[in-house]
A and B are shown apart, each in its own frame.
Chain A
């Protein structure tokens, strides 16, 4: 366990640097985009020169970039994410309100794609090159090639508009007095379609990785030994082949969950889920720099935490990994 703790400490120190670079980089990028929050705002209102000047002053946009960056970092040091220009509310509140929805969506989609993907991968990899393998490989590739928003729209039209089995969007029934289990069931019902749309797209990756890994392992000597021992095929597949092919999938899980944050931008818009991805999109359109920085920071922390968990899982699963790092 000390090994894991050493790893944790190392990673945390490194992460702070990563986060700092991310914050400054994002700030500069957004500053480089033409137009500021006031430009974005007056699109829908218009206004005269005096009003525009007033707004720039009130939103602190009449200060230099450097001053604003310094102010932001100083506030950040006190764990203050600042005030959102678009929402006129503390950014922490705005983000905390949406984070659970995104986590729920991403988490469920990851479980779906990882769970179902690796299970189908095992199924396909049990006889590489067989009929099932071909069918699953082609099917999953086709799914992977489909754009997320399109899959989402098709799911909406079939299951929400035509069949009316599921709601077309949102995270829960609006203005409902549901509580406890009833509310959980309601949220679950709303999540079915977006989670499927997001999960099915990434399913192919796990499936193919598992299958490829297994195809490799089949050729190794210990499998031959296991066969020679007279183990059942089922036991060989699950305990020897699949288990050894699983490790790269854990790496993939870390990388993929990061990508899923990006995918959720689209899915959250299509399904009107009030999540972080959609918020990020709105923040960019509104040139709400502090809000976007807050979202990026939150996502960066999320990514760091996920990778940390993956590393720890790795260290626990494969003794070689942790040992070399901790010993160095």
Chain B
């Protein structure tokens, strides 16, 4: 896995990794991986575009990360939390204007052509920067990619860009697709978007709409002896109860991304031969937040926002809504983030009396009917848990005299109501923390974002100090200084409550206990599965 590591800078980590990666299969199992077999997996959606270079989303990665590889993958023990993939080494210039990637030698595309730096340059400039949902932000200042030789790609930026941000973006944003497949015609209309060609351990084999996707082993894969599996079949199971039944009936061996609802986990964990796995999603943390429309006079008052924060029993939410499969949140960076998290922020203990007192102080006295004012509350419909938390929040607010009217929409209507029409007072949302606050977290508080941008500050919140802090962090090159700025950012957010962070959760996998080497990196479900194998 790490045999091409050459840099002195990363030598130590590299050898540690080498050790870890060769030792991994034997730890705990004391078995050598068995080759062959077909892994049947539950899939709950059929992405309209399978090209992860264009659509960097978990739904797409779940399938295509086995076919198309990124420059680096997230790792539990690698340096900076990374493990090399198509790049074996990366180094940022001190002026923040360039990053140099050394690429892996001897890698071939699934169609047999060699993988070179031209492919990386093409993917970055023609796809990540102009077309990719996340890349459009992170690579906005990318000006050119120089390719001095076939195995070197030098990213050039017009403005100093923190190397830390680029590093943190690699696992999700750096899918490399072949230039020779995409250079003719419109990239968005390329048939390879639905039948991807990559360098990964598995090749795209076939897709039957409404039924399955099938991937087959890439015999020319660069990883030694990898992959172990012959085939991966994703069975499309649209019903929420199907995955659990299919696991029990042994029609599938793995259901990732909490395809088995939390309420079923207790029962399913007792089924012989099945195991519930909570590891392997550390890099995909979802945050349960209360989004606030600051255009509402009452909500523009910090005391009211503090009162709402005090009215919510986060422990109860974790215990009852998430059945324990979550953690309470203190601020906009999740506790499990190894780089940025700080616990040194103002906290809001569950205290109804204090909440009531704050509302009284703010001048919103209770009327004769015990109510202070009414609000529209829009829980996002994407997860059971966001809907259930909406029900809880309504009751929690009733206890402090705020009458919340629940407005339930389907996904499209919710997105429109909250992020375009601003037709909400409070909303419950699940933003994703993607390993660096600059990728998709700061836009939740930053001002000046056009209407209609989803998962961004559409609540009309504007705080010049916070804006300045976010701007400064985005151009601070020194990793330690940058990290410190994001610690201040967390403090400021917890202080001023542009939104209220309630809990953090990841997904759960349920698998047959014969499936080995699962959950061995922080983005396992969306990684390559090159080392996954089936026993027996």
Contacts and interface: CB of A to CB of B under 8 A. Distances in A.
Given A40-B412, A168-B246, A274 B211 contact: yes
Contact of A48 (B59, B417, B453): B453
A88 interface: yes
Contacts of A279: 210
B42 to A, nearest CB: 10
B136 interface: yes
A166 B235 CA distance: 17
A39 interface: yes
Contacts of A33: 412-413
A94 B46 CA distance: 13
A285 B411 contact: yes
A112 interface: no
Given A44-B58, A160-B245, 4 more contacts: A35-B417, A41-B48, A46-B57, A270-B242
Contacts of B245: 156-157, 160-161, 168
24 contacts: A34-B416, A34-B417, A34-B421, A35-B415, A39-B411, A39-B413, A39-B420, A40-B411, A41-B48, A44-B59, A46-B133, A48-B133, A51-B133, A86-B48, A87-B209, A98-B210, A161-B249, A168-B242, A168-B246, A168-B249, A171-B211, A269-B239, A274-B236, A275-B210
**Leading 7 A-B pairs by shortest Cβ distance:** A274-B210, A35-B412, A40-B412, A35-B416, A49-B450, A34-B413, A47-B133
A111 B526 CA distance: 45
Contacts of A43: 382, 411-412, 415, 454
A51 B136 CA distance: 8
B238 interface: yes
Contact of A175 (B233, B242, B409): B233
A219 B57 CA distance: 69
Task: Name the residue among B188, B210, B415 with the largest chain A CB count within 10 angstroms.
Answer: B210
A80 interface: no
Interface string B185-197: 0001000011000
A47 B136 contact: yes
Contacts of A48: 133, 136-137, 453
Nearest to B214: A175
Contacts of B414: 35
A55 to B, nearest CB: 9
Contacts of B235: 170, 174, 272
Nearest to A101: B210
A263 interface: no
Contact of B415 (A39, A58, A275): A39
B209 A97 contact: yes
A269 B242 CA distance: 9
Interface of B: 45, 47-49, 55-59, 131, 133-134, 136-137, 188, 193-194, 208-212, 214, 231, 233, 235-239, 241-242, 245-246, 248-249, 251, 382, 409-417, 420-421, 440, 449-450, 452-455
Contacts of A272: 211, 235-239, 242
B382 A94 contact: no
A46 B242 contact: no
A98 B214 CA distance: 19
A40 B136 contact: no
Contact of B212 (A37, A86, A167, A174): A174
Interface in A74-107: 85-88, 94, 97-98
Task: Name the residue among A58, A88, A167, A171 with the largest chain B CB count within 10 angstroms.
Answer: A88
A33 B417 CA distance: 11
B230 to A, nearest CB: 12
Task: Name the residue among A33, A47, A88, A287 with the largest chain B CB count within 10 angstroms.
Answer: A47
Contacts of A153: 241
A228 to B, nearest CB: 58
Nearest to A46: B455
A272 to B, nearest CB: 5
Contacts of B56: 45
A48 B420 CA distance: 12
Given A175-B214, A279-B210, A42 B415 contact: yes
Nearest to A85: B48
Given A94-B209, A97-B209, A287 B412 contact: yes
A225 to B, nearest CB: 56
Contacts of B214: 175
Nearest to B381: A43
B415 A52 contact: no
Given A49-B452, A274-B211, A39 B412 contact: yes
Contacts of A164: 249
A327 interface: no
A88 B49 contact: yes
A213 interface: no
Contacts of B193: 88
Given A43-B382, A45-B55, A269-B239, A161 B209 contact: no
